[in-house]
Amino acid sequence: MIALITPTGSRPFQIQVLAHCMKNQTYQGEVTWVIVDDCLPETTGFIPEAFKPNWTILKVYSRPAWEAGQNSQARNISEGIRELFNHYSEDQIEAIFFIEDDDYYKPTYLETMVPRLPGFQAIGETNTIYYNIYYRRYVVNGNREHASLFQTAISVEALTEFEKCYKERFIDYVFFAMIHRVNLFQAGDQAIGIKGLPGRSGIGSGHSQAMTMIADPEMQHLKFLIGEDYKIYRDGTI
């Protein structure tokens, strides 16, 4: 079984898009999706227990509820992992994926990632693409020594090191510098970092207009990256 950990809250559009992405995953193995909703009103009630075959949905409602200005990412990941181990033993979990609520995942994401994990503490895609929907701009990042957290999966063995990074603003960068058995690769941009959406803001640099990006006024590059799903972001509906 693979596990997915998703912290979310106060992003109703984003979590609906993410559910669409997860619903379309081609991976046929057993999946447990742990969703940690830390806001009021809650926005995850539409995701049913019978989400899709071979998938188990576990929900955590983290309290106290998030307030503007807080960074609750580490707390929510920690609570999601705790909930996971309330239901499964270590030897039942093949990998833990960090699936962020505001990013786009191609249908082949999990299917592409899972075979790359055996023998490694962590895997991930490099040269992360950010696409800012509000400004209609994109950039290919130069990260080659680490993967962005939303493109990362780890073994249970690596959890001890991962948990040491909870106090860091950018968990991914610090974590990859701490471990040694790492599989970093390019596999066709299986996930895209989506920025500039309405609702609760993110902490990454791609949300700001100050970051240098390439203009894409008609969203043709986004269409190239994710196909007809680009219309979800163009029209703001799912």
In the chain, count of helices (H) and strands (E)? 7, 12
Report the predicted TM-score, pTM, of the whole model to 2 decimal places.
Answer: 0.95
Q: Is CATH 3.90.1200.10 the right assignment for the domain spanning 2-235?
A: no
Q: Are 218 and 227 in contact (CB under 8 A)?
A: no
If you average pLDDT over residues 73-87, what whole number do you get?
96
Determine the pLDDT at residue 153.
Answer: 98
Instruction: Give the phi and the psi of residue 191 in degrees, each rounded to 5.
Output: -140, 145
> Which pLDDT band holds residue 90 (cuts at 50, 70, 90)?
very high
- For residue range 11-28, what is the model confidence (pLDDT) as tens digits? 999 999 999 999 999 999
Across the chain, mean pLDDT equals 95
Write b or e for each residue in 26-51: b if 16 or more Cβ atoms lie within 10 A of its Cβ, otherwise e: ebeeebbbbbbbbbeeebbeebeeee
If you average pLDDT over residues 148-168, what whole number do you get?
97
- For residue range 98-141, what is the model confidence (pLDDT) as tens digits? 999 999 999 999 999 999 999 999 999 999 999 999 999 999 99
For the chain, domain boundaries: 2-235
Q: Which residues contact 189 (CB under 8 A, 6 or more apart)?
A: 106, 125, 129, 225
SS3 category, 228 = helix
- pLDDT above 90 covers a percentage of the chain that reads 87
Q: How are beta strands 129-132 and 191-195 bridged, if at all? A: parallel
- Across the beta sheet with 182-185, the strand order is 55-61, 31-37, 2-8, 95-98, 152-154, 122-125, 182-185
User: Is pLDDT at 66 greater than 80 in this prediction?
Assistant: no
Q: Is 144 buried (19+), middle (13-18) or exposed (0-12) by CB count in 10 A?
A: exposed
